[in-house]
Amino acid sequence: MYKLFMTTVLAIAALSACSNSTDSYDVKSLPDPINSVAFETYNAEEFFKTTSVFGSSINHLGNAVLVSNDESGIFNAYRVPVDGSPAKKLTNSTKESIFVESWFPQDERFLYSADKGGDELNHLYVQQLDGTKLDLTPGEDLKAQMMSWHENKNSFFVATNERDSKFFDVYQYNTNDYNRELVFKNDLGFSVESVSPNGRFIVLSKTHSNSNSDLYLVDLRLKMVKPRLLTQHSGDVSYSVYTFSKDSKQLLYATDEFGEFNQSWAYDLETGKSSLNYKADWDVIFSYFSKDGRFQVTGVNADAQTQLVIKDLFNQSELSLPTLPSGDLRGVNFSDDSKSMVFYINSDTSPSNLYVHTLGTNSIKRLTNSGNPNIKEQNLVTGEVVRFKSFDGLEIPAILYKPKQASVNKVPALVFIHGGPGGQSRKGYSAMIQHLVNNGYAIMMINNRGSSGYGKTFFHLDDKRHGEDDLQDVVYNKKYLQTLDWVDADKIGVMGGSYGGYLTMAAMTFTDEFKVGINIFGVTNWVRTLESIPPYWEAFRKSLYDELGDPATDKQRLHNISPVFFGEKVKSPVLVVQGANDPRVLKIESDEMVEAIRSGGTYVDYLVFDDEGHGFTKKNNRISASNKYLEFLNTYLMKTSK
């Protein structure tokens, strides 16, 4: 199963962290001798005038979409009419980001989640028709998440850890008065995965190791019956859940039993037999159905880019769509009657925009304008998937962004490392990446060994070897950049967030390869981190220890790979960026790392956001961070002499 520890669900957008600066619009024109035209550079404020938007729940009337966007500087809920008329702001939060879940099935109440300052203790809220808000999961130190709606449209299921902070129970809520009933008490430490549309079944998972797991089924009609094992197997096989079919007769699940990549299989709940549902030459990463069950949407992680297949189950054929705008299709959702669908288009050079399509016609209507009209798309850069060989001959994939300045002069470069450890750098728009590339920095987003998306063998190559072989991949990425005739071989830095922040600090501490490092909320003390994991990660604690090491038995090795204990060895400038409320990488780790570097006499800059956690959701903070990255790089990498 996917490595859950420090996975960057926030991804690049969250790392794009940021500034209270309100500098005026700054454009520089530079010659492009290849195309004989000028290209322009922009500051962070211009890049973050783009709007981040997500969510595709269509209301019961089929005339509006529920989304979150950060147009106001912080994520709020909006109602976007499908006729193209202006969006209506539904919430007015100025402090906490609001992440929409869905409309109610029969009216325009809606559910959303929010935490406090990035502490990840999300509560589930309902906004009622009169605009009042109600916390459906009140209390302290609990975490809640929306599971699904009952097909009767009169109730929904929510998982919370309020009874036991280590494990999540399942409650069924009534839509009329929000009274609830505990339907599954999780005393055995399972992970709750999905509830069937008819409310009868709950599927659970049990993690045995980071390469071995099982699925179990609970039939809520049978009281006091233990969960039933669905995935009897031998050896190391991983299973995870996609969804139930709309008739509650099948469970779609992922397994790597039959090769390197996850395939989609269907388990028949009546016969107990499984059959292949979908396979590809890459991981099948999700599969779900339209509300009426007519369409199935399946996503494949094809070389760091999502490919969608939409199947019409009525005639067993792939849905035919008119010519779409250039970019990747994502976030597909259908109206109740499947007569219309909404979706997003995203590319490296254009942020996600929401569209609506009336099925059976050529009609496609754009519903949002997420880009900044001051930024011309031709001034931005599309990433290229490349591969290089590491120290042992292993081929390492990466996404390379070549700045337009490279057509004039050699440019400095950065190795960018994703979070995880089992995350993945992927294609798609990032204001922060484009800001740095637009201002003259080559970016190579490495998918070092241990990254997801390239098969289970590649995925497990870093198990209990963190800071060793994967660090060498980072070093050999630098060596590859030095072979490019448009890169300044003497001006290469390293940066990353979360686990990528750890490898950044490891590169700066245990090697002398890089001129600068930017550590964004990176782990620097593995002993403390693994001893202080949040209680709600208990269900996969064993998997974490298999992956990284048990602090009770592997303490010396964890100490040896932790940069904080060797900070005086850092000899080149470092920037550290941290959220004060981070529950995964505690602020004290970054505090101590900064002090350790300073003790050796090396320059280190430190930026802390008091209202953020493990990732930065507020636009001003993202601007501040992006400005800080560029200022730091311009001073300590761009302007350094050879």
Q: What is the tens place of the pLDDT at every residue in 182-230?
A: 999 999 999 999 999 999 999 999 999 889 999 999 999 987 678 999 9
Structure-block tokens of residue 542: 């064993």
Q: What is the mean pLDDT of residues 239-258?
A: 98
pLDDT at 270 over 50: yes
Q: What is the pTM (predicted TM-score) of this model?
A: 0.91
pLDDT digits (tens, 9 = 90+) for 517-528: 999 999 999 999
- % of the chain with per-residue pLDDT over 70: 93
Q: What is the pLDDT of residue 223?
A: 77
pLDDT digits (tens, 9 = 90+) for 98-155: 999 999 999 999 999 999 999 999 999 999 999 999 999 999 999 999 999 999 999 9
What is the residue extent of each domain of the chain?
Answer: 11-46+374-638
Q: What is the pLDDT of residue 274?
A: 97
For the chain, give the mean pLDDT. 92
pLDDT at 627 over 60: yes
Q: Which residues contact 633 (CB under 8 A, 6 or more apart)?
A: 412, 414, 436, 441, 493, 516, 518
d(CA 20, CA 334): 39
pLDDT digits (tens, 9 = 90+) for 481-517: 999 999 999 999 999 999 999 999 999 999 999 999 9
d(CA 227, CA 202): 9
pLDDT at 35 over 70: no
pLDDT at 257 over 60: yes
Q: What is the pLDDT of residue 315?
A: 93
pLDDT at 2 over 80: no
What phi and psi values does residue 409 have, to the nearest 5 degrees? -140, 165
Helix, strand, or coil here: 108? Answer: coil
pLDDT at 1 over 70: no
pLDDT digits (tens, 9 = 90+) for 408-426: 999 999 999 999 889 999 9
- Sheet with 180-184: list strands edge to edge: 144-149, 155-164, 167-174, 180-184
Q: What is the pLDDT of residue 575?
A: 98
CA 504 vs CA 218, 493, 564: distances in Å: 44, 9, 12
Fold classification of 11-46+374-638 is Rossmann fold (3.40.50)
Task: Tell me how far the alpha carbon of residue 476 is from its chain's centroid.
Answer: 26
d(CA 420, CA 232): 29
Q: What is the pLDDT of residue 639?
A: 80
Task: Please report which confidence band the pLDDT of residue 640 belongs to, taking 50, 70 and 90 as the band edges.
Answer: low
Strands (E), 200-305: 201-209, 212-219, 228-229, 239-244, 250-255, 263-268, 274-278, 283-289, 295-301
pLDDT at 433 over 70: yes
Task: Please report which confidence band the pLDDT of residue 23 belongs to, taking 50, 70 and 90 as the band edges.
Answer: very low
Q: What is the mean pLDDT of residues 589-612?
A: 97
Task: Please report which confidence band the pLDDT of residue 350 belongs to, taking 50, 70 and 90 as the band edges.
Answer: very high
452, 458, 463, 468: CA torsion to nearest 10:
-110
Q: CA torsion sign, 94 to 124 to 368 to 424?
A: positive
Q: What is the pLDDT of residue 565?
A: 97
pLDDT at 6 over 80: no
